[in-house]
Structure 1
C-alpha cells in the first residue's frame, strides 16, 4: 500500500509541476485548481479565526522561534533548524526542538482512541527522540528529520508530537527548556511565537504559484507578511535583488539574510569513515536519494567534480528496503562506479547492507550565511540576551486540558 501511495504522490507531483503533458494531465490540473480554491478559503478562514481570537493561541512563557515555509518541501529547512539550535545553545539557552514527526510511525488506533477518551497525561506525553544526552528512538518511529537533528545536536531536546503546545509544555516541565524551536511552524497557529522565520528557496521561491493541491504553496504568497525574519536558501552568490524586491512588496519590515547549503565532507554510511570533498573529483558515482528536489543534489555532486553515472530517485521521505539498496549497489558495481552518494536525510532511512560491493557515502551539509551575516549575528545576540519570562501554568502538572 505504501509503495502504491508513493507512486501516486510522484505522479501527482509530475502533473502539478507540468512534467506530464496530454489531455488527461490537463484535466487533472484543472480539477486540482478547483480544489485549490477550497484550500484558499480554508486557510484564510482559519487565519482569521486566530486573528480575531475566536481560536486562541497558547502563550508558552518562554522564547518561541518558529521556522517554516510557504511551500511544501525543498527549502532545506532541517540544516537551518540545526544551525539555529547550535547558535541558541552557544548563547547559553536550553533548547528544545518541537517536530510533528512527518511520516514517522503513527500511534496505534487504540492509543489514539485512549488519548482522546482518557486524556491522560502519561498517554499524552510526546515521543522523546532525544533527552539531550542520548538517542531514544529509531528514525522510523521518530521520523527521519527529528532523528537526524537529535543525532547531530548534543544537549538539545528533540520531541515529536502533532500537538506541539503539548510537547512544548512537556519540554519546559521536564527538561527546563527556555527556548522552543518550532520545526515547520509557519502553519501551526496554536502557539504564540516570539520570532517567525520563513525560508524561501532561491530557485523556486513560491513553487509554481498555485495553492495545494494544484500547486506547492501551503498558503497564499501574501501571507509572507507574518514573517519577522526571512532566510533565502540555496544561494550561489549571485544577485538576488529581483527576488528581494518582490519580498519587500509582501513584507516591508522583516530582516532578510541569504544563505547557502555548504557541503562539508563525506561520511561512509556504515563505517563512519570521513572523506574530503576532493574525493569526488573525477570519481564515477551513483546518486541515491528520496528528497523533494533530487535534481539539486545531483547538481551539487557534479559541481564538486563527480561523474554521475547512475541516479535513482524516490519520493520525499521514502523508506528504503534492503532489496532496493542491494539492487542499486549491484547496478553501480556492474557500471564500475566507485561510490554511491546520498543525502544525510536519506542516510538515516537506508538499512544496513553487509559487505556492499560499492561503498555508500552521505554528504554532510551546513548553513553558511552569504549576505546579511551582521544582521543575523545581531539577531542571535538579541535572542541570547532576552530574559526568560514567567513560565505559564503547566498542563502536565494538573492533567487538565489546554
Structure 2
C-alpha cells in the first residue's frame, strides 16, 4: 500500500495522472510547493546573513548532488571520481545513510575507501578528519546541505528528465528553484546517449542559468554480466539471442530498458519497482513465476538492485533460469580533459 501511494504521488508530480482526483491533489500540492519555496528562501537568507553558519573543513570538500528527486545516476559518478580523478589522494565519502543500496554499491566497488554515513554531515566530517585526515571528502547528495562549506559543487542532471515539470516538490520533482543552479561549479549531464535533440536545448538552458559552470557529458557503459550463483563474469553477447526477463527498482527504469536494447537484447518483460525498493520473498516469487510463464532463459537486474537482494532469495531462482547482474561504469563523452584539470588542481591545492 505504501509503495502504491508513493508511485501515485510521484506520477502526479510528473503529470502522468489526468483524472479528477489527481487534478484536485495537484492544486493542494501546488499550495504546498509555495510553502516549501518559502522555507528554502528563509534558509538561504539566514545563511547569507550569517545568522546560520556553515562549517569549513581543513580537507577539500567535493559535493555530488542534484536538484531533483533521485534517479540522476550520482553513485557511478562518485565511483568514477574516486577511481580516476582522486586515485592518488586519501579520500573519504560521506553519505546520508538513507539509501543503503548505494552505500553497499560504493563499498563493494571501492573496498579500500573510508565510508561514513549519518544524518549530520558536519559531525561526520569532523569524525573523518579525526580518523583519517583525508585529502578530499566527497559528500553524497550534498547540494542542499548548507551547513557544510564545499570547495566544489557537482550537480548531476538526467538528460532524459532534467527538471520534471519545473515545479518544486511536492508538486514536481525540483528540490530547489532552478535559479539556485548558479551555485554549481560543474554540471554532469548523465545518460546523454539516450537523449535526442533535447540535449542541445538543455545545455543552452544550463549556460543561461550558470555561464561559469563546467558542463560534462557522460553515459553509463555496460561492461559485463555477473552470474551471481556461479560467481562468474559473462560476456555481454552471451544473452543476445536469449529470452530475457529483467527487473529493477531504480530512479530511471527507462534508461535500464534503453541500455538493454542497446546491447541487442529483446526483453520478454521489464518489471519495474519504486526506486530503492526493498525486495521481499513474494516479489522474487512473482518474478520467478513470470519468468517461467514467458519461458525466459535468464533474469537480469542492475547492480544497485542486487545490493537489495539477500542470498536466500537469490537461491530461490531455479537452476534452469540464469540470474545475471549488469555491471556498468561511467564513460565521459565530452569534457573529460577539462574535468581532470579542474579537479586535479583542487586535489593538489
Q: TM-score range by the shorter chain?
A: over 0.9
Alignment match, 1:94:
90
- Residues 201-224 of structure 1, C-alpha deviations (whole Å, 9 max, x = no match): 111111210100000000001100
Which among 238, 247, 252 is matched to residue 279 of structure 1? 238
8 Å CA contact 1:94, 1:179 repeated in 2: yes
8 Å CA contact 1:200, 1:232 repeated in 2: yes
Measured in 2, the distance between the counterparts of 1:222 and 1:155 equals 38
8 Å CA contact 2:225, 2:324 repeated in 1: yes
Return closer, same or farther for 1:170/1:83 CA change in 2, 3 Å cut-off: same
**Aligned runs of 1:354-365 on 2, under 5 Å?**
354=315, 356-357=317-318, 358-365=321-328
Query: Which TM-score applies when normalising by structure 2?
Result: 0.94
Return closer, same or farther for 1:355/1:31 CA change in 2, 3 Å cut-off: closer
8 Å CA contact 1:172, 1:178 repeated in 2: no
**Aligned runs of 1:3-402 on 2, under 5 Å?**
4-90=1-87, 92-103=88-99, 143-236=100-193, 240-352=199-311, 353-354=314-315, 356-357=317-318, 358-386=321-349
Describe the SS at the equivalent of 2:131: helix
Describe the SS at the equivalent of 2:192: coil
- Residues 101-134 of structure 1, C-alpha deviations (whole Å, 9 max, x = no match): 115xxxxxxxxxxxxxxxxxxxxxxxxxxxxxxx
Measured in 2, the distance between the counterparts of 1:209 and 1:284 equals 39
8 Å CA contact 1:280, 1:304 repeated in 2: no
Return closer, same or farther for 1:88/1:299 CA change in 2, 3 Å cut-off: closer
Measured in 1, the distance between the counterparts of 2:189 and 2:239 equals 28
The worse-fitting range, judged by mean Cα deviation, of 74-83 and 172-181 is 172-181
Measured in 1, the distance between the counterparts of 2:6 and 2:200 equals 35
Measured in 2, the distance between the counterparts of 1:148 and 1:48 equals 37
How many residue pairs match? The answer is: 343
8 Å CA contact 1:98, 1:158 repeated in 2: yes
Describe the SS at the equivalent of 1:193: coil
Measured in 2, the distance between the counterparts of 1:370 and 1:313 equals 28
Q: CA deviation at 1:197?
A: 0.5
Q: CA deviation at 1:333?
A: 2.0
Describe the SS at the equivalent of 1:53: coil
Describe the SS at the equivalent of 1:162: coil
8 Å CA contact 1:269, 1:347 repeated in 2: no
Measured in 2, the distance between the counterparts of 1:238 and 1:327 equals 35
Q: CA deviation at 1:238?
A: 5.8
Measured in 2, the distance between the counterparts of 1:174 and 1:263 equals 36
Q: CA deviation at 1:330?
A: 2.5
Measured in 2, the distance between the counterparts of 1:214 and 1:84 equals 33
Measured in 2, the distance between the counterparts of 1:222 and 1:355 equals 49
8 Å CA contact 1:265, 1:364 repeated in 2: yes
Q: CA deviation at 1:47?
A: 1.3
Measured in 2, the distance between the counterparts of 1:335 and 1:200 equals 36
Q: CA deviation at 1:21?
A: 1.8
8 Å CA contact 2:92, 2:113 repeated in 1: yes
Unaligned runs of 5+ in 2: none
Q: CA deviation at 1:312?
A: 1.6
Q: CA deviation at 1:355?
A: 5.6
8 Å CA contact 2:157, 2:187 repeated in 1: yes
8 Å CA contact 1:88, 1:95 repeated in 2: no
